[in-house]
Chains A and B, each alone.
Chain A
């Protein structure tokens, strides 16, 4: 007879794990910020941050789409394109994060344009995937069909990369309009990511109260950086909110790792739960967008002067 182990007693250690996760994320964020030696030139700094944020966003998309398309067994050859493009974006973004002055060169610009356009095509494929299912555009297919947010993120990657280059173009509109328009784009990016996290956390019934975090803090950050389009004073509010959003982007995978532990079989059952549990690589998308936004803030404040 095999030893029968009793089921684990429920101690609901959520609070302790939550606090530890956020504290670890904040510490990691603080260390990253300390390590970052930004340039004195605000446009250069914005290009640098756009590169770094885009790299994080690409890493998130590459891992997430890699895992999800592996789950889909690469049934369609086109399913290799998404992760490949994200990897290409990751390479280009990492390059300009370290060498922002290179963002004016042809090679990274071609790479970003390719990634951006491919994202649009991918959006078309994913929309088709949703609409071909019985019920077409209904909640169930939005929940379980191909996610719209993921290919859209690749389009954002392309735009961020091109904007990073434009920041250093020295053209007149860079001083006048580009930072404000980019702030709007970042607000829009945040709203898209919030929509996806909100949809999936709603699907997960917000069963852990922490699941409300990505639908409360980032919307405020999106509002404040959106408001910065209109008044530079909003950047004062936007900064702490974007930092909080960045912390969420680091804390997210920790919570998702805990979520996998809570699932049937826990981490021992990783071969199912990496695919079916909460997605580990998804939350850093918030970190990437927040980093891009944080780097942009000084240029927004500059405009007033």
Chain B
């Protein structure tokens, strides 16, 4: 894991809350995301804790006292069966892919180390996940589910997508959130509206 420093030292996207940048609809949507974190409904407790351990390796948040919640939103996604509207040709439907994929990762951990994935060291977890990504897995656990495909198209995509849907992640990358109602007037390269984030730590930006 490389150290990440945000170049947006003073930027806080939630400062836009009461400005002309956002309206009631935008505040309602973001407020819901901040306050109404869903409870566990679809995953079992074991699946939940396994997924949490995986997410902690894919999107580590050691610098946050309160990490951006990711697992609850994946659980909600599965509970409501909110698929993207299509199914990958070589994979089963979304819910089955997740249940099967989590089970297979758990089985890989037991087979290699005789322990739960959550109990492994960070390095062992990383190595296992890297093998999953590159299809270096036991086919008896995975069957017809392509490990690399599950890793990239389901696991990684949802984790990153959910993380960067959160205002704290927006502040980190200098993103302004929904351009609703106020968008941007200066659209060219190297142009900035006064209500946009500004990089202050250029060394951090280059790191």
- The answer to whether A5 touches B24 (Cβ under 8 A) is yes
Q: Which of A1, A72, A265, A275 contacts B28 (CB 8 A)?
A: A1
In the complex, the chain B residue whose C-beta lies closest to that of A268 is B20
Instruction: State the Cβ distance, A200 to closest chain B Cβ, in Å.
Output: 16
A5 to B24, CA, bound (A): 7
A276, CB-defined interface residue at 8 Å: yes
B185, CB-defined interface residue at 8 Å: yes
Which of B8-16, B70-78, B163-171, B175-183 lies on the face that meets chain A?
B175-183
Q: A2-B31, A264-B180 are in contact. Are A276 and B24 (CB under 8 A)?
A: no
Q: A264-B180, A271-B195 are in contact. Are A3 and B185 (CB under 8 A)?
A: no
Tell me how many residues of B have a C-beta within 8 Å of chain A.
Answer: 19
Q: Which of B20, B24, B180 contacts A3 (CB 8 A)?
A: B24
Instruction: State the Cβ distance, A261 to closest chain B Cβ, in Å.
Output: 12
B186, CB-defined interface residue at 8 Å: yes
A266 to B181, CA, bound (A): 9
Range of interface residues on A (Cβ < 8 Å):
10 to 19
A269, CB-defined interface residue at 8 Å: yes
A203, CB-defined interface residue at 8 Å: no
With a cutoff of 8 Å between Cβ atoms, the chain A residues found around residue B25 in the complex are 4
- The answer to whether B24 touches A269 (Cβ under 8 A) is no
- The answer to whether A272 touches B28 (Cβ under 8 A) is no
A71, CB-defined interface residue at 8 Å: yes
B95, CB-defined interface residue at 8 Å: no
B191, CB-defined interface residue at 8 Å: yes
A265 to B185, CA, bound (A): 14
B88, CB-defined interface residue at 8 Å: no
A3 to B31, CA, bound (A): 12
- The answer to whether B28 touches A4 (Cβ under 8 A) is yes
With a cutoff of 8 Å between Cβ atoms, the chain A residues found around residue B193 in the complex are 272
- The answer to whether A2 touches B183 (Cβ under 8 A) is no
With a cutoff of 8 Å between Cβ atoms, the chain A residues found around residue B27 in the complex are 2
Instruction: State the Cβ distance, B188 to closest chain A Cβ, in Å.
Output: 8
A4 to B29, CA, bound (A): 10
- The answer to whether B191 touches A73 (Cβ under 8 A) is yes
- The answer to whether B181 touches A265 (Cβ under 8 A) is yes
- The answer to whether B182 touches A265 (Cβ under 8 A) is yes
In the complex, the chain A residue whose C-beta lies closest to that of B23 is A265
With a cutoff of 8 Å between Cβ atoms, the chain A residues found around residue B28 in the complex are 1-2, 4
- The answer to whether B24 touches A4 (Cβ under 8 A) is yes
Instruction: State the Cβ distance, B11 to closest chain A Cβ, in Å.
Output: 18
Instruction: State the Cβ distance, A88 to closest chain B Cβ, in Å.
Output: 27
- The answer to whether A276 touches B185 (Cβ under 8 A) is yes
- Per-residue CB contact flags for chain B residues 93-136 toward chain A (1 = under 8 Å, else 0) read 00000000000000000000000000000000000000000000
Nearest 3 CB-CB pairings of A with B = A265-B181, A275-B185, A264-B181
Other 19 A-B pairs with CB < 8 A, given A4-B25, A271-B195: A1-B28, A1-B31, A2-B24, A2-B31, A4-B28, A71-B185, A71-B186, A73-B186, A73-B191, A264-B181, A264-B182, A266-B181, A269-B20, A269-B181, A271-B20, A272-B182, A272-B184, A275-B185, A276-B183
Q: What is the interface of chain B, defined by CB distance below 8 A to chain A?
A: 20, 23-25, 27-28, 31, 180-186, 191-195
